[in-house]
A = this chain, B = another copy of it.
């Protein structure tokens, strides 16, 4: 039998604006990769199948496939909709069965999770939370989404976390902005995502002077998010990624705001002297999603082996 190190795994990151398909190995090395825009489901899934088929011919037969998908998705294995996209405003995609398409084509085990749960898994395996089985990964970009591992395993439950829609308290300098979330207006995504920053100040963070109030507002909302996460999930590390978080000067601004909102309640060295290792930037950058899909495939094969 082949050894685990020789195995080839398929990985698909299904995003709202683009798909990434790759083949990788046990060590987290990506051997080949292709990306293409997300259009209608039929064309996009056909492109996905063709891409993975081509890569498989090049790299060798796949042992398993991991699928890291935009949400909401049905993760309950007992549901007849298991693996499908649930109601989504994205035209045509409600009910789409990306997982089923992969299973039918490749006849290998396929595992699906949210893009952010998968990214949490990749950050745990290869990135900024290697030693930490209890963590939250949050992406702050076009939207805000979070995934969580508890005891090394992704949190599902009723559906999966949707922590981008938590409701922060309004910053004093931000009383009049309505927010951009179509569901809630001024939830976290509505107040602190990339489009929210753009709507409030007419440009992205990096274009604003360091003393522009937008920086303080953004840090405060993300600090509230982190405080809420500490209180509910008690993670051992919080990893922040996504486009907005490439502005690394946000980190030293968020940390004291998180502590402010905790109000001295959770007395742990990790939140004080150790805070620079507690609230950290993603280690895998823009690769977290596709590496997350690879990590899902590796874990599935290991569980079945």
Contact = CB atoms under 8 A, between A and B. Distances in A.
Given A169-B167, A169-B169, A228-B166, A233 B155 contact: yes
* Count of chain copies: 2
Contact of A86 (B163, B165, B227, B267): B267
Contact of A268 (B146, B158, B169): B158
Interface residues of A, number: 46
Nearest to A278: B158
Nearest to A225: B232
Contacts of A86: 267
Given A167-B169, A265-B165, A265-B184, A233 B231 contact: no
B183 A270 contact: no
Interface in A211-267: 224, 227-236, 261-267
A157 B235 contact: yes
Given A157-B236, A158-B230, A167-B169, 8 more contacts: A134-B157, A158-B236, A158-B266, A159-B268, A160-B234, A161-B232, A165-B265, A187-B263
Interface of A: 72, 86-87, 134, 146, 148, 150-151, 153, 155-163, 165-167, 169, 183-184, 187, 224, 227-236, 261-268, 270-271
